[in-house]
Amino acid sequence: MLIIGHRGAPDHAPENTLLSFEKALEQGADMIELDIYVCLSGELVVIHDDRVDRTTSGTGVVKEMTLNELKSVNIKKGQKIPRLEEVLNQIKGRVPVNIELKGPGTAIGFSNFLDSYSPDFSWNHNEIIVSSFNLRELQVFKNLKPHIKRGALNGGVPLDLGGFAEPLSPWSLHYSIEFISPELVADAHKRGRKVLVYTVNRKDDRDRLKSWGVDGIFTNSPEAMLK
């Protein structure tokens, strides 16, 4: 079962920061999950909320702020809101990444990013999963980059179980720990999809999900889930 650093390792460092991602790597995470928005000046930035208020010293809506404005706000432990390029350059292909599309236009923005991104290390597009609750954004991304894996998020129990995402031909289905069940896992596997569950921070939950055949879990403390 994959142990995925949810926004890095936020139990040990501020979420979605370079420090948090490095902590997750140090702790042995099999994959890193992060969230992206397109800011006002067009860059892709790594942050979970549509506003900076919760996680930084500033206030404002991400898509209405330029990169310079976003970089001017502070995060605990001396961290700043990173650009996507900074994060990928830090990870350097050491583990796969799950990039969640959060805001409008992120599908096109990330597709364009991939066309121009030239890292100074070996990078395999097979090591990327693009996920979202916004299935329309995922469809746009599928049309642009059909060869890259997709993960469809769902926060409840769809009436048709895993059928909600079939038009997207997803690699994985991502379900909340609140609603996951053996039935959802079995249905996804019957469709040929992986099952990833968020957010798992208790060992008894980890063990239960593993017994059901879940393929991976998102956690705030990879170190704890690997013990």
Is 174 assigned a catalytic role?
A: no
d(CA 66, CA 59): 13
Of 6, 12, 147, 174, which one is the catalytic site residue? Answer: 6
Q: Which of 138, 118, 37 is nearest to 82 (CA)?
A: 37
Task: Extract the tokens encoding 175.
Answer: 């379900």
48 carries an active-site annotation: yes
Give the C-alpha separation, 226 to 102, whole Å. 28
DSSP string of 61-84, one letter each residue: BGGGS-HHHHHTS-BGGGB-PPBH
Residue 6, CA distances (Å) to 93, 160, 187, 224 in order: 17, 27, 25, 13
The H or E element that residue 35 is part of is strand 31-38
Residue of 122, 137, 113, 196 lying closest to 162 (CA atoms) = 196
Q: Please pick, among 12, 48, 147, 189, the residue that the annotation labels catalytic.
A: 48
Nearest in space to 102 (alpha carbons), one of 173, 171, 48, 156: 48
Torsion sign over Cα 56, 16, 171, 29: negative
Query: What's the maximum distance between 2 C-alpha atoms anywhere in the chain?
Result: 48
Just list the catalytic residues. Answer: 6, 48
